[in-house]
């Protein structure tokens, strides 16, 4: 086989009952998340118009990835991942249910929203680290690219395509309704995951959890392919969320849009992600892994540039669709690369280390965006993000060269 650094994947065939159960749990839970992520900023915007306080929602939701992801990733390599996912779902069911009741009794405030977002973020770190470490154990290596594409598409499309319109409609009918529905979705997800067999990652642990955490972090940092993927996504996420954490204000004040335009932004993003699933395999076969990742980065950069200069939803909506295409391509290819270069026993900790860095910067980016908007106007963080993203895209091919080398080495082994 020629050493082209290409991932292969089976097209359009069944991936088994266990994968379908995980996929269905993702659809149910992510649909609820879609209701939540659209309704929470709308609720926050009713309480305040301060961009820093609005950005605080994103900060609270993503801060757990910086604080707890390494720990929850180590747990995901020591325990039954199925049980961890169920426990996370049930905990989130309680948290969101309590917020729904607080809204019903008209006692919710911005600090309560922060607390809810933070606690859900903790549950997300545990659930996502366990789920992504579980996928390679329930599908074959040949099916891994398609499994990740379907998994990522289901998660993002449900959260951005199905959930947001439902969330806005429910929010318009009764402010508490999308939060109560989200709580129910967590319970449904727990039931579906419970149908999986009792899958353990490793033998009973004989090491300290602190040593496990450090081993995962060191593995991610010493592997050049993983390190470079992690660092470039960290840079992208910082500027991406500096802008998009203010989306609810961007829609109201720059686009002069209502809830329909706000919903269409999410739907467009999800449409792009769904579309990416259908050409990620042929594109990767044609271009190779690194070039496909570079295409994803250019999709993000082009979209942020468009959003930074427009004042109409007719431009912003298709630009958000392009963001979705980039996300779909990046998700499938990047996740598969990380799984293939990482031993099974380290996958949970590798995922945790990767997200601690690449997602841990999100609160900092959101804080930067909030303060930039407060000091220089709401368009400023979008302009800064656009310039930064173009610079990252221009250097992406060179920076990701270690990824090409790693995939070439895997291809040679085959």
State the Cα–Cα distance between residues 342 and 365, nearest whole angstrom: 29
Residue 144 neighbours by CB under 8 Å, 6+ apart? 9, 135, 136, 336, 339, 340
Mean residue pLDDT across the chain: 85
Radius of gyration (C-alpha) of the chain in whole angstroms: 20
Q: pLDDT tens digits, residue range 329-375?
A: 998 898 888 888 888 778 777 877 888 888 889 999 999 999 999 99
State the Cα–Cα distance between residues 370 and 380, nearest whole angstrom: 10
In this structure, whether the domain defined by 17-195+209-413 belongs to CATH 3.30.70.1290 is answered with: no
pLDDT recorded at residue 325: 94
Q: Which residue has the higher pLDDT, 307 or 348?
A: 307
pLDDT at 204 over 70: no
Q: Sorting pLDDT into bands at 50, 70 and 90, what band is 14?
A: low
pLDDT recorded at residue 5: 46
Residue whose tokens read 């930064």 = 388
The pTM score is: 0.77
Q: Sorting pLDDT into bands at 50, 70 and 90, what band is 6?
A: very low
pLDDT recorded at residue 26: 77
> Of 163, 60, 72, which is closest to residue 120 (Cα–Cα)?
60
Q: pLDDT tens digits, residue range 315-326?
A: 999 999 999 999
Rounded alpha-carbon distances, angstroms, from residue 259 to 2, 100, 103, 245: 51, 20, 20, 17
Two tokens at 223?
A: 């592997």
Q: Which of 2-6, 36-40, 371-375 has the highest mean pLDDT?
A: 371-375
State the Cα–Cα distance between residues 228 and 232, nearest whole angstrom: 6
Rounded alpha-carbon distances, angstroms, from residue 39 to 23, 168, 171, 180: 24, 6, 6, 11
Share of the chain above pLDDT 70, in %: 91
pLDDT recorded at residue 3: 36
State the Cα–Cα distance between residues 18 and 361, nearest whole angstrom: 34
pLDDT recorded at residue 199: 53
Q: Are 34 and 186 in contact (CB under 8 A)?
A: no
pLDDT at 13 over 60: no
Two tokens at 144?
A: 């891994």
pLDDT recorded at residue 141: 67
pLDDT at 176 over 90: yes
**Helices 144-157 and 17-47, packing angle to 10 deg:** 30
Share of the chain above pLDDT 90, in %: 41
pLDDT recorded at residue 227: 94
Q: Are 75 and 84 in contact (CB under 8 A)?
A: yes
pLDDT recorded at residue 253: 94
Q: What mean pLDDT do residues 61-75 have?
A: 81
What phi and psi values does residue 68 have, to the nearest 5 degrees?
Answer: -125, -10
pLDDT recorded at residue 201: 47
Burial class (CB in 10 A: 0-12, 13-18, 19+), 311: exposed
Q: What mean pLDDT do residues 263-276 have?
A: 86
Distance of alpha carbon 361 from the chain centroid = 13
């Amino acid at each position: 086989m020629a050493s082209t650094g290409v991932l292969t994947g089976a097209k359009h065939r069944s991936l088994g009952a266990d994968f379908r159960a995980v996929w269905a749990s993702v659809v149910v839970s992510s649909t609820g998340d879609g209701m939540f992520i659209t309704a929470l900023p709308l609720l926050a915007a009713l309480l305040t118009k301060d961009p820093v306080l609005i950005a605080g929602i994103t900060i609270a939701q993503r801060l757990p990835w910086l604080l707890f992801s390494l720990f929850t990733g180590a747990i995901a390599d020591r325990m039954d991942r199925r049980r961890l996912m169920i426990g996370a779902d049930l905990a989130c069911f309680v948290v969101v249910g309590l917020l729904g009741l607080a809204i019903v009794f008209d006692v919710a405030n911005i600090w309560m929203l922060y607390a809810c977002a933070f606690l859900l973020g903790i549950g997300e770190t545990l659930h996502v680290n366990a789920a992504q470490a579980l996928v390679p154990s329930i599908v074959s290596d040949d099916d891994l690219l398609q499994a990740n594409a379907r998994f990522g598409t289901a998660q993002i499309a449900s959260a951005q395509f199905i959930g947001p319109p439902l969330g806005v409609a429910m929010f318009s009918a009764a402010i508490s309704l999308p939060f109560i529905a989200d709580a129910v979705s967590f319970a449904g997800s727990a039931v579906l995951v419970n149908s999986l067999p009792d899958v353990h990652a490793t033998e009973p642990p004989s090491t300290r959890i602190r040593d496990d955490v450090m081993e995962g972090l060191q593995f991610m940092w010493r592997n050049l392919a993983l390190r470079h993927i992690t660092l470039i996504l960290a840079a992208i996420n910082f500027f991406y969320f500096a802008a998009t954490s203010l989306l609810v204000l961007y829609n109201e004040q720059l686009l002069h849009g209502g809830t329909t335009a706000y919903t269409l932004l999410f739907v467009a993003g999800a449409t792009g992600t769904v579309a990416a699933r259908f050409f990620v395999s042929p594109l990767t076969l044609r271009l190779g892994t690194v070039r496909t990742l570079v295409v994803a980065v250019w999709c993000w950069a082009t979209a942020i540039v468009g959003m930074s200069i427009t004042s109409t939803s007719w431009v912003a909506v298709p630009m958000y669709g392009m963001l979705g295409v980039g996300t779909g391509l990046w998700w499938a290819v990047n996740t598969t690369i990380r799984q293939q270069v990482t031993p099974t026993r380290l996958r949970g900790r590798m995922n945790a280390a990767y997200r601690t860095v690449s997602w841990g910067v999100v609160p900092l980016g959101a804080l930067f965006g909030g303060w930039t908007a407060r000091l220089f106007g709401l368009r400023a963080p979008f302009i800064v993000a656009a310039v930064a993203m173009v610079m990252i895209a221009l250097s992406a091919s060179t920076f990701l060269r270690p990824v090409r080398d790693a995939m070439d080495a895997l291809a040679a082994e085959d």
